[in-house]
Amino acid sequence: MKKVQLNPVGWMSQLSQVEVAQLQDSTHSDLYDMFRNCCLAVLNSGVDEDNFEVLFAPYDDFDVKLIRRERGVKIELINPPEVAFVDGKLVHGVHEHLFAVLRDLLYMGNKYAFLHQTAPVDGPSTTDMVFDMLRHAKALEGNDELNTIVCWGGHSINLNEYKYTKEVGYQLGLREMNICTGCGPGAMKGPMKGAAIGHAKQRYKKGRYIGISEPSIIAAEPPNAIVNELIIMPDIEKRLEAFVRIAHGIVIFPGGVGTAEELLYLLGILMNERNAQQPFPVILTGPAGSEGYFEAIDEFIGATLGEAAQSKYQIIVDDPPEVARTLRADMEKVNKYRRAMGDAFSFNWSLKIDPPFQRPFVPTHKTMGALALHQDQNVADLAVVLREAFSGIVAGNVKAEGIRQIKEHGPFSLTGDPDLMTRIDGLLKSFVAQQRMKLPGSEYKPCYTISRGK
Amino acid sequence: MKKVQLNPVGWMSQLSQVEVAQLQDSTHSDLYDMFRNCCLAVLNSGVDEDNFEVLFAPYDDFDVKLIRRERGVKIELINPPEVAFVDGKLVHGVHEHLFAVLRDLLYMGNKYAFLHQTAPVDGPSTTDMVFDMLRHAKALEGNDELNTIVCWGGHSINLNEYKYTKEVGYQLGLREMNICTGCGPGAMKGPMKGAAIGHAKQRYKKGRYIGISEPSIIAAEPPNAIVNELIIMPDIEKRLEAFVRIAHGIVIFPGGVGTAEELLYLLGILMNERNAQQPFPVILTGPAGSEGYFEAIDEFIGATLGEAAQSKYQIIVDDPPEVARTLRADMEKVNKYRRAMGDAFSFNWSLKIDPPFQRPFVPTHKTMGALALHQDQNVADLAVVLREAFSGIVAGNVKAEGIRQIKEHGPFSLTGDPDLMTRIDGLLKSFVAQQRMKLPGSEYKPCYTISRGK
Amino acid sequence: MKKVQLNPVGWMSQLSQVEVAQLQDSTHSDLYDMFRNCCLAVLNSGVDEDNFEVLFAPYDDFDVKLIRRERGVKIELINPPEVAFVDGKLVHGVHEHLFAVLRDLLYMGNKYAFLHQTAPVDGPSTTDMVFDMLRHAKALEGNDELNTIVCWGGHSINLNEYKYTKEVGYQLGLREMNICTGCGPGAMKGPMKGAAIGHAKQRYKKGRYIGISEPSIIAAEPPNAIVNELIIMPDIEKRLEAFVRIAHGIVIFPGGVGTAEELLYLLGILMNERNAQQPFPVILTGPAGSEGYFEAIDEFIGATLGEAAQSKYQIIVDDPPEVARTLRADMEKVNKYRRAMGDAFSFNWSLKIDPPFQRPFVPTHKTMGALALHQDQNVADLAVVLREAFSGIVAGNVKAEGIRQIKEHGPFSLTGDPDLMTRIDGLLKSFVAQQRMKLPGSEYKPCYTISRGK
Amino acid sequence: MKKVQLNPVGWMSQLSQVEVAQLQDSTHSDLYDMFRNCCLAVLNSGVDEDNFEVLFAPYDDFDVKLIRRERGVKIELINPPEVAFVDGKLVHGVHEHLFAVLRDLLYMGNKYAFLHQTAPVDGPSTTDMVFDMLRHAKALEGNDELNTIVCWGGHSINLNEYKYTKEVGYQLGLREMNICTGCGPGAMKGPMKGAAIGHAKQRYKKGRYIGISEPSIIAAEPPNAIVNELIIMPDIEKRLEAFVRIAHGIVIFPGGVGTAEELLYLLGILMNERNAQQPFPVILTGPAGSEGYFEAIDEFIGATLGEAAQSKYQIIVDDPPEVARTLRADMEKVNKYRRAMGDAFSFNWSLKIDPPFQRPFVPTHKTMGALALHQDQNVADLAVVLREAFSGIVAGNVKAEGIRQIKEHGPFSLTGDPDLMTRIDGLLKSFVAQQRMKLPGSEYKPCYTISRGK
């Protein structure tokens, strides 16, 4: 049995004894399984495998313990994957990531007891909590130069699209912008890789490659090799909020239903009339040949949320320098607005996010079945519901818990307004046709059925 | 009316909105007066005046406000002292100190609601709180090289003694040790000044000059010009605990009753048998000509706490290099012990401090009169009581609240075991004779009377 | 006409007036054309084109001037390639490289008047000059940790081999080793790219990607995008000497006749008996499928220079971690030897390089024809001659001056000992067969003929 | 016999073998005695003793050797003064200073063969040499923010004046200005000490305390404890040129004949009409009570060089903040001028210094007797001669060689124009009366006689 003990780094290297005691207590909680799994995912950083079952299979005998010492806490790895070690020594970046997992899951988890929390939390305190987590992760300290670009997109895009994400990242890097993504492969890795080259050419030493994950997704999307700051938000809604509050601009690459979920979340917020004055650069972009994705999405949004929603983003096809130039130019507006508001550069406090966007949505057959999928409501409410629908489909596709439910009870059933359901069906089918629902090569078996209500 | 607005620095530059709201609420609390006064003291950093009434007199129209902005909080100074400004711009170090005051008094005060708290607090949580305050002050981050020497001693020592404290500081600085003191003039300034020269000669760039104060004393002892880290603990007991937990060694220079209080506190802790194995270097030192002070103290301790207490310190007369060499050599023992205990280098968790040493003592005529000043108790308990007696005398001498009480009700009356009272009287009289109770030149009018019980 | 003026950086930002005057005088010398061409090559950094004629064709109207100001010298670019600019601003790394060109070609050229110098230079001073150039380039400052690995290999290797060079670089980077190459594409770029990822994962901030070029080759091999230190040695022999003196270990990937030239140079030196004790790690490595290259080379060396030469290198096939582990382990021997010798870590003074290895060889039909290609001499002399023969073939293949000569007078004619000539012919033919003489796809037309003397 | 070997630091840690060989050859030259003495002076840094005979007396058996190793050169100290060591280890700053001595005396001495050079050197190359020495000392790198204030003044001023120099330094330090002086005690130390406190209060980390000395004076004025950059110019004229070319402003405190020499040198240059446009802040300042010094100087200058010379400086009495404010404000003019000229911020190339100001003056009875002390010449020429006269008196007062000559041949005899001689006599007598010619306490015995020619 191989054992490796790790000294704490970062915030976790300075804990009070009461904090250490709480951490150790938490090892008996059900948080602990999640902690163990996230550690295992992190130890597989950079491994090209997004099926968590395949990834985890060889590591049945892996375990992780917390060792309490007078001075604080150590992590002990039992039978960790060899891939994380170089000549018997844990790779430094992975070491940092493991303590990020400890910090975000157990330490912050103790502080807020927020996990598995499905009851609505009132607005301000969710935001304060998101802020506090980013602050502890030191993600805000270097974030005051208006250069954090959040990139969303699929984790299994084709090679042409992947190269394009690298090229956009390169152009952003040349303009000394940093990259924040969801932390996995594909469109989450390409922009970081490109930016790293751009930063090197500009001798820019402060390159940040921030990965924001959450416990149920990190196993399917372990941090890629470039991520140098890892943050694990407790659930998908807080992860989304972290993205939009840390971002100075957002680029959306082709992706699947997860990417659509992110876009719907974002549009729902930006359409809030209290955010009407907020300059918030959003660019949808992809290489020549990927126009189909954006056309389908754009058409769907036009038909459901309307032109107002469409006005919130700009589509740029096959022009990486233009993407980067546009964002760089938009920073001036962001700068002016934040100054006028007295808002921070590092965290967008002035963006209003209404409670429905913060409320954790736990997809089950019941909650999915109950979604109010009709257009007889205002567009912000519709955006919420659509976001939730797509979120459930992501869960059914790739998350352990979702897959388990589907296996047990069959596909989720979505019911609603016939016209809307037709549009949803059309969009999802276009994703299937473009092979965006699963890894290329495998055939996609839907985790949902669409029923057109009367 | 002159107004100056200051942007937050350090920890205070990243506050959540709920924290900002709490800060602003606190401006209506009685903490606020204390906050205002500490700010005023800090704005007088480096001014040679230890009478707070004289110091504050010209600044009746001074005020300080908190201004809430979306991004956080600003401090607004109204009619601040000119001395803190250079060509209209606040000195950077003072700027930092003001936000240290805000952090320690209001922000941490909100977190712990600890001020004016006289009820006993159970052990662990006081220590956790002290740790948390030092952590927020970033005082622990650079404190892991076993080189923090706490220096105690009088704030109005004579010139010969002052030069000696500089010389000791210089020798410590040459050996790359850092200085932590109570933050005022005299023996709190000299070692920092000397160390700064020693550090410069060694090209040592990480010189730390930590001042730990508390609200009731900072006005009488504003931070000297060298202090580059200011921490304000909520009361005298937590300040003392901060000193002993951050220290890797302690040097005690000649001083008055305050210095005696500190030594009694320290001995009381070190005599705890659970600390028997703990290597804790304590050196009493002064120049030739100041032996009288140490003789009086040493005799008093021998007679009251006994030889065991005397064995906890070493007296070195007129030999600064020897002081520094001894401490440097002792660090090896500290190193071994901390490693053996698994204790932190930056914070001495393994030192046991029993609740009586943590319990805030508020000197009033009643509490002073009730002190159990007799030798019919174990020495640790006696050390507690003696510490409190001397603490009360310090308050009566120099603290605003103490002086007010004395003015109103006459001197504190100390009663006890005749033999013990004679020794106390003798020690205090020796301080008076050596002009250690007040500034040289003025005549000392005792704030206490000694009654020998039967 | 577009003009861009650049402020000096690095060493060139502090010039005396006499140095500036000399620089400006040199703009009338024949060095200047070379300077202009190197600048143009640098401005094309990262462009994938190794045919200088194609590369330079669009920039007939490009020019570069030196502008003298009281404080020093500026570079003025006239009609520079757009590719070097981002939103109208020169990429910072290219800016640095341009002043490296100025430093190495004109400033050091003035100091040593070394260019086009074909007469033998006596040993010590060539080495002193090489040292001085590396010192001015600040290449020695960070080079004292025994972690500089020089990588040689072809610039147009196949994709499989390229990926392998990246993988080796990655493994070296994980072990915090830095990369120094000849600065172009292919095997000169792959190891840098891989190391950059390895460095990132280890949070290693001091990654160095040193490119050492020379004026006649830089146009054909402009610095790749990763090079963050550029040095241009005046001729091929000084470039080779810079490589071996700065290296703590050398990795040789598959390549063509240029790579063979480098290996012969190295073996000739290592076989000098005064270098017999010198530990000098040399590893020949490539992916599965590339064994042919090493077999041909190894066999050729065995047949010509003998087993002693073969013992100077190790061949590792298809095992990047093993390459890196071996080098890391060898550093211990290098460490011991340098200490024992009192030698510098940053520059291998104790390696003896005899004058024939320092003497610039200028390939012409006459010098090529006169090469003493026979085995009736000691192996060190033979290594010199073989190195020169291969050097001439490289010139005829890719260097402007060499190509011009071949165009005018037909192929170089090599004559010698039949057996040796047969071996040379065999080796060269194997390179042709493996498509290592030219870019894949084009047919290679030899720039030499082989005659077997009697 | 105690021996200590030192590894090279700074520029001296990277020498070529030819440079090392030259260094070692120089140990047989007459430079070497000077090198040994400067090392001894540096080893006494911070010792308060300005009589070199007293200082050196205990160290007859001190010696210094250069040890050649493959990698470069080490310094070996034999029987060095204990004062430079802490617990057996050389103080780091002294270590640096020793290699500065090696660099400036032997390394640069070899490069320029400039020592003891009395023949006139043509203008440009002296300046290039001064530049090159400052460049090698890395004194120019951090000197581009227009904040280097050169302070001149006596080394044995009274306590009141010393405190004043500290106060001026403090005010300069608060304004983030750096200090450059002649490197000894008194007015050369006070400003540095004050600035160090000012820098600390402003958290200014880049404080520079540059000492520029020369071989014949360093023994009498060893670097004080604050100097963190030491430069030793080969002779007094190059030292003066280094001061004026590195300065962004000059403050002149009370001093003796040496200070007068410096002022005359400066005025002679500033009165050059080609410098008429050059903004060059010069402030004469001292505490209340020291007006006499400035009145005497000012009157002398008015009577000899005229009003034009008087207009080149400003006298500020007893107002340190005003001194600092004035200089800070003047920086704007300096900024504009340097930009307009295209001149460097770190080195004042555009200041014209005519050859007579660069020509080394070696005071002997013959050269002193031959000085053309009459007003029948233009004021620049007169300034040259007066500077030389005062320079000779400094030598006779404090320099080893000067003292030896006076001891052997009696006082220097100065002859000239009666009116001028009367003025010179008056000025010198006022220095004697103010006890500025020697240490307070001792009686001054003039090293000169004044003859009034007809």
Cα torsion through A183, A186, A190, A191, rounded to 10? -60
Task: Return the number of other C-beta atoms located less than 10 Å from residue D429's C-beta.
Answer: 14
Please say whether the beta carbons of B390 and B257 come within 8 A.
Answer: yes
Of residues D72, D342, D349, nearest to C17 (C-beta): D349
Nearest to C62 by CA among C88, C83, C89, C87: C83
Position B220 scores a pLDDT of: 76
- Find the closest chain A residue to B142 by CA distance: A14
C175 touches chain A (CB under 8 A): yes
How far apart are alpha carbons C373 and D62 in whole angstroms?
A: 62
Residue A415 has pLDDT above 90, yes or no: yes
Q: Mark which residues 181-200 of A lie under 8 Å from C by CB.
A: 196-197, 200
Of residues C93, C175, C203, nearest to A203 (C-beta): C93
Question: Which amino acid is located at A106 in the chain?
Answer: L
Average pLDDT over residues B23-52: 82
Q: How far is CA B273 from the centre of its chain?
A: 25
pLDDT band at A118 (very low <50, low <70, confident <90, very high): very low
Burial B155-184 (b: 16+ CB within 10 A, else e): bbbbeebbebbbbbbbbbbbbbbbbbbbbb
This complex has an ipTM of 0.90
Cα distance from D277 to chain C (closest Cα, Å)?
16
Residue A116 has pLDDT above 50, yes or no: no
Q: Do chains A and B touch (3 or more CB pairs under 8 A)?
A: yes
pLDDT band at A125 (very low <50, low <70, confident <90, very high): confident
Residue D371 has pLDDT above 80, yes or no: yes
C9 touches chain D (CB under 8 A): no
Contact residues on chain C for D343, CB-CB shorter than 8 A: 70-71
Contact residues on chain B for D174, CB-CB shorter than 8 A: 86, 91
Burial C155-165 (b: 16+ CB within 10 A, else e): bbbbeebbebb
If one compares A222 and B330, the residue with the highest pLDDT of the two is B330
Backbone angles phi, psi at A12, to 5 degrees: -70, -10
C291: tokens are 């064994």
pLDDT band at D120 (very low <50, low <70, confident <90, very high): very low
How far apart are alpha carbons B118 and B131 in whole angstroms?
A: 20
Sheet holding B178-181, edge to edge: B229-232, B209-213, B178-181, B148-152, B249-252, B282-286, B314-317
pLDDT > 90: percent of chain B = 72
Residue B168 has pLDDT above 70, yes or no: yes
Of residues B175, B202, B226, nearest to D200 (C-beta): B226
Question: Which amino acid is located at B14 in the chain?
Answer: Q
pLDDT tens digits, one per residue of C116-168: 454 445 545 889 999 999 999 999 987 778 999 999 999 889 999 999 999 99
Residue D27 has pLDDT above 70, yes or no: yes
Residue C392 has pLDDT above 70, yes or no: yes
Could you tell me which CATH number the domain at C122-454 has?
Answer: 3.40.50.450
Q: Which fold has domain A3-113?
A: MCP/YpsA-like (3.30.1850)
Q: Do chains C and D touch (3 or more CB pairs under 8 A)?
A: yes
pLDDT tens digits, one per residue of B209-257: 999 999 888 877 889 889 999 999 999 999 999 999 999 999 999 999 9
Judged by CB atoms closer than 8 Å, whether chains meet at A344 and B71 is answered as: yes
How far apart are alpha carbons B393 and C123 in whole angstroms?
A: 83
Task: Return the number of other C-beta atoms located less than 10 Å from residue D319's C-beta.
Answer: 16
Question: Which amino acid is located at D200 in the chain?
Answer: A
pLDDT tens digits, one per residue of A290-337: 999 999 999 999 999 999 999 999 999 999 999 999 999 999 999 999
Among the four given CATH numbers 3.40.50.300, 3.90.105.10, 3.40.50.450, 1.10.40.60, the one describing domain A132-270+279-341: 3.40.50.450
Residue A53 has pLDDT above 90, yes or no: no
pLDDT band at D439 (very low <50, low <70, confident <90, very high): low
How far apart are alpha carbons B76 and A157 in whole angstroms?
A: 53
Of residues D18, D131, D341, nearest to C124 (C-beta): D18
Average pLDDT over residues A261-285: 96
Judged by CB atoms closer than 8 Å, whether chains meet at B203 and D46 is answered as: no
Q: Which residue of B45, B48, B86, B97 is the best one to mutate when testing the D interface, meaning the one whose CB has the most D CBs within 10 A?
A: B86
pLDDT > 70: percent of chain C = 95
Nearest to A214 by CA among A293, A104, A337, A134: A104
Nearest to D132 by CA among C96, C11, C104: C11
Contact residues on chain A for C87, CB-CB shorter than 8 A: 175, 325, 328
Residue A123 has pLDDT above 60, yes or no: no
Of residues A14, A71, A346, nearest to B342 (C-beta): A71
Residue D334 has pLDDT above 60, yes or no: yes
Position D10 scores a pLDDT of: 85
- Find the closest chain D residue to B198 by CA distance: D225
Of residues D94, D203, D328, nearest to B93 (C-beta): D203
Please say whether the beta carbons of D168 and D290 come within 8 A.
Answer: no
Residue D422 has pLDDT above 90, yes or no: yes
Position A340 scores a pLDDT of: 93
- Find the closest chain D residue to C67 by CA distance: D342
How far apart are alpha carbons D399 and D221 in whole angstroms?
A: 10
Mean pLDDT of chain B: 91
Could you tell me which CATH number the domain at D129-454 has?
Answer: 3.40.50.450
D83: tokens are 């004062």
Contact residues on chain D for C124, CB-CB shorter than 8 A: 17-18
pLDDT band at B409 (very low <50, low <70, confident <90, very high): very high
Name the β-bridge partners of D67.
D74
Measured CA angle at A252 (ends A251, A256), to 5 deg: 160
Q: Which fold has domain B119-454?
A: Rossmann fold (3.40.50)
Residue B439 has pLDDT above 70, yes or no: no
Nearest to A312 by CA among A268, A346, A353: A268
Judged by CB atoms closer than 8 Å, whether chains meet at A96 and C325 is answered as: no
pLDDT > 90: percent of chain A = 72
Residue D186 has pLDDT above 80, yes or no: yes
Question: For every residue of C422-452, which 3-state class applies, written as one string?
Answer: HHHHHHHHHHHHCCCCCCCCCCCCCCEEEEE
- H/E element, A69: strand A63-69
Judged by CB atoms closer than 8 Å, whether chains meet at C70 and D141 is answered as: no
Measured CA angle at B424 (ends B419, B425), to 5 deg: 95
Residue D4 has pLDDT above 60, yes or no: yes
Judged by CB atoms closer than 8 Å, whether chains meet at C201 and A225 is answered as: yes
Judged by CB atoms closer than 8 Å, whether chains meet at D87 and B228 is answered as: no
For chain A, percent helix, then strand, then coil, each to nearest 5?
A: 50, 15, 35
Judged by CB atoms closer than 8 Å, whether chains meet at A128 and B342 is answered as: no
pLDDT tens digits, one per residue of C397-441: 888 889 999 999 999 999 999 999 999 999 999 999 888 887 556
How far apart are alpha carbons B368 and C315 in whole angstroms?
A: 86
- Find the closest chain C residue to A171 by CA distance: C86
Question: Which amino acid is located at D178 in the chain?
Answer: N
B77: left (phi over 0), alpha (psi -120 to 50) or beta: beta
Please say whether the beta carbons of D244 and D317 come within 8 A.
Answer: no
pLDDT tens digits, one per residue of C236-288: 999 999 999 999 999 999 999 999 999 999 999 999 999 999 999 999 999 99
Position D90 scores a pLDDT of: 96
pLDDT tens digits, one per residue of B359-394: 999 999 999 999 999 999 999 899 999 999 999 999
- H/E element, A286: strand A282-286
Of residues B202, B203, B228, nearest to D200 (C-beta): B228
Please say whether the beta carbons of B265 and B299 come within 8 A.
Answer: no
Nearest to A272 by CA among A354, A207, A204: A354
Judged by CB atoms closer than 8 Å, whether chains meet at B196 and D201 is answered as: no
Nearest to C181 by CA among C143, C228, C137: C228
Contact residues on chain A for B131, CB-CB shorter than 8 A: 16-17
Residue B30 has pLDDT above 80, yes or no: no
Residue whose entry in the numeric block shows the structure tokens 């870590």: C345
Judged by CB atoms closer than 8 Å, whether chains meet at B202 and D87 is answered as: no
D442: left (phi over 0), alpha (psi -120 to 50) or beta: beta
Name the β-bridge partners of C75.
C6, C66
Judged by CB atoms closer than 8 Å, whether chains meet at A200 and C94 is answered as: no
Q: Mark which residues 34-53 of B lie under 8 Å from D by CB.
A: 45-46
Position A212 scores a pLDDT of: 97
Position A120 scores a pLDDT of: 43
Please say whether the beta carbons of C167 and C192 come within 8 A.
Answer: no
Task: Return the number of other C-beta atoms located less than 10 Å from residue B285's C-beta.
Answer: 26
pLDDT band at A48 (very low <50, low <70, confident <90, very high): low
D279 touches chain B (CB under 8 A): no
Q: Do chains C and B touch (3 or more CB pairs under 8 A)?
A: no
Judged by CB atoms closer than 8 Å, whether chains meet at A226 and C87 is answered as: no
D132 touches chain C (CB under 8 A): yes
Residue A30 has pLDDT above 90, yes or no: no
pLDDT band at B293 (very low <50, low <70, confident <90, very high): very high
Backbone angles phi, psi at C235, to 5 degrees: -150, 175
A17 touches chain B (CB under 8 A): yes
Against chain B, the chains showing at least 3 CB pairs within 8 Å are A, D
Sheet holding D314-317, edge to edge: D229-232, D209-213, D178-181, D148-152, D249-252, D282-286, D314-317
Q: Do chains D and B touch (3 or more CB pairs under 8 A)?
A: yes
Position C250 scores a pLDDT of: 98
Nearest to C24 by CA among C90, C84, C82, C110: C110
B126 touches chain A (CB under 8 A): no
Per mean pLDDT, which range of A50-59, A380-389, B6-15, B132-141 is the poorest? A50-59
How far apart are alpha carbons C357 and C130 in whole angstroms?
A: 13
How far apart are alpha carbons B270 and A382 in whole angstroms?
A: 68
Residue D61 has pLDDT above 60, yes or no: yes
- Give, in order, the Cα–Cα distances in Å from A251 to each of A184, A218, A309, A314, D355: 16, 21, 16, 10, 66
Contact residues on chain A for C325, CB-CB shorter than 8 A: 87
If one compares A50 and D249, the residue with the highest pLDDT of the two is D249
C336: tokens are 């011991």
Q: Mark which residues 67-86 of A lie under 8 Å from B by CB.
A: 69-72
Work out the burial of residue C408: count CB atoms within 10 Å of its CB; fewer than 13 is exposed, 13-18 middle, 19 or more buried.
exposed
Judged by CB atoms closer than 8 Å, whether chains meet at D350 and C17 is answered as: no
Average pLDDT over residues A24-37: 83
Q: Which residue of B20, B71, B146, B337 is the best one to mutate when testing the A interface, meaning the one whose CB has the most A CBs within 10 A?
A: B71
Judged by CB atoms closer than 8 Å, whether chains meet at B14 and A346 is answered as: yes
Task: Return the number of other C-beta atoms located less than 10 Å from residue B363's C-beta.
Answer: 23
Please say whether the beta carbons of B396 and B365 come within 8 A.
Answer: no
Judged by CB atoms closer than 8 Å, whether chains meet at A175 and C91 is answered as: no
D97: tokens are 């200073």
Of residues A16, A72, A350, nearest to B128 (C-beta): A16
Widest distance between CA atoms in chain D: 66
D92 touches chain B (CB under 8 A): yes
Ranges of each domain in chain A = 3-113, 132-270+279-341, 355-452
D87 touches chain B (CB under 8 A): yes
Residue D115 has pLDDT above 60, yes or no: no
